Structure 1
């Protein structure tokens, strides 16, 4: 796994980093609200049961979506995101938190993982099984100087 870490100014500028040829996006433990507060929402289960006007907080869930919805999610400017880009949708049985740490990358690769993007406030870490993908980010005019600066400071 090749990896690179550097500073970002917003989630909107991260959009240009994604491989637009891979449309299977998985966001692990997404939290739509960063502040611990109550908000009103409706909830519909897979079985069709509907709950109306619930008060919820600290809601956290996995999302499987596509690039167009990812763009909308990035516009929320969420402080922390764990975004995985796969070459196919992931199976129902794949649960990242249950995978052994020592074989995590290999299992994810076998399930179609190509790249991941971990956003932590103003820092992004990008991992990829493709060296050329990381090299293309290192030479991206928007990020090139930030990457070079971070390497100098390590």
Structure 2
């Protein structure tokens, strides 16, 4: 092989290697950005779920212990923020069950069942895909004397 041919082969090889390296770096950076975005969205979702569960369990605990639930104005502000965050970050199933809970509450239907389904969906969306906890069990930690609350579950 002559010197110009060797130079051409070396130059082509260097160009292809450089191009391949740039493509790989682009894809790695793209995957890293996507992973960071997914982590941020997951954190926002978990925060929204935690806020909802804190509010719900505080109200349930107050009712179960025959106490008045907390300040209604604060609850309304919290609920607005939670609804806003659930609209953006919750999975489709959790969001639909949240809407079903609101509808059950508005229509004086079985709110306890709707709430238990929502909490189980949050649990599954948070990583416990094969949970074996029942609707009755999911609310039992906060409702110590369920009485008729669990009648239909």
Please classify the TM superposition score into its range, dividing by the shorter chain length.
Answer: under 0.3
Higher relative CO (Cα under 8 Å, sequence separation at least 6) belongs to: 1
Q: Which has the higher helix share?
A: 2
Using the size of structure 1 for normalisation, the TM-score is 0.25
Using the size of structure 2 for normalisation, the TM-score is 0.25
**Which protein is bigger by CA-based radius of gyration?**
2
